[in-house]
Amino acid sequence: MNFIDYFKKLKERREKALIPYFTALYPSKASFEKLAITAAESGADIIEIGLPFSDPLADGPVIQHSSQTALKNGFTIAKMFRSIAGLRVKTEIPFIIMTYLNPVLRYGANIFFTQCRKNGVNGMIIPDMIPEEDGPIRKEADKAGVAMIYLVAPTTPEKRMRLIASRTTGFIYAVSVTGVTGQRENIPAYLPAMVKKIRMVTDKPVCIGFGISTPEQAKAAVKYADGVIMGSAVVKITNPVVLKKFIKQVKSGIRITGSTQRYS
């Protein structure tokens, strides 16, 4: 699948992408699957699936906890792919895996991306892999047709923004805070300027993540971007009924407002 076209279609419908994050097989295999399907059916546009790693150094307490719990419950990469295969039959929503580099390397990049292709994973985010170090991974991802999504941080200078944007085959993940994942009181004041800078170097879609936890924050954040990723706030919700309400609420707040109202 092509993320650039996918975002173009969303734009034509005057929509912005809502990308909730779920830790794979957390709190259990059945709950994870139920939650992911619920999100897909309630208005999410892309599902981000976190593959737990023992040492998640870009993550705050909530995702650390969910990862540790999943690992304690016997998580394996093979089990995750089986679960994703089951989800793929039920929904066409794009899936993105977020994990750290070591599990992919150890599993074998070739086998890992082959499994992605076979089980319907469309994109990949590896926060501890910068473009300069992506050689072996990138080759396999390209071969399997899995999009690579790279992060831009508030500290990233323009020159690196260009490099990152040029390497991205999915969308650009704009990290909204200098910090780890987790909830924040406010979205930072520099965010609009940061996204504007990214827009100046690329036409590729830009989504904002890290620290976006309320419908209001999501609404404010997507004003300048094409979508929003919500991690810790979503991982905390383990009740499908609550999740459904939350996803609907966020999604309804992030439409492009203006004269042409397509939905009622």
Name the site residues for another protein (rule: CB under 8 A): 53-58, 60, 64, 68, 71, 76-77, 100-107, 127-130, 132-133, 150-157, 160, 164, 175, 178-180
Active site residue 59: yes
Q: How far apart are CA 201 and CA 167, in angstroms?
A: 12
Active site residue 55: no
Q: How far apart are CA 44 and CA 53, in angstroms?
A: 25
Q: To the nearest whole angstrom, how small is the minimum distance from the Cβ of residue 151 to another protein?
A: 5
Q: How far apart are CA 100 and CA 244, in angstroms?
A: 29
Q: How far apart are CA 54 and CA 241, in angstroms?
A: 30
Nearer to another protein, 76 or 166 (CB): 76
Nearer to another protein, 102 or 239 (CB): 102
Encoded tokens for 40: 């897909």
Catalytic entry in 59, 92, 185, 226: 59
Nearer to another protein, 37 or 105 (CB): 105
What DSSP designation does 256 have?
P
Q: To the nearest whole angstrom, how small is the minimum distance from the Cβ of residue 113 to another protein?
A: 15
Q: How far apart are CA 235 and CA 249, in angstroms?
A: 16
Nearer to another protein, 30 or 111 (CB): 111
Q: To the nearest whole angstrom, how small is the minimum distance from the Cβ of residue 200 to another protein?
A: 18
Q: To the nearest whole angstrom, how small is the minimum distance from the Cβ of residue 235 to another protein?
A: 16
Q: Is the peptide bond before 192 cis (omega within 30 degrees of 0)?
A: no
Catalytic entry in 15, 33, 45, 48: 48
Q: How far apart are CA 235 and CA 20, in angstroms?
A: 9
Encoded tokens for 224: 């300048």
Active site members: 48, 59
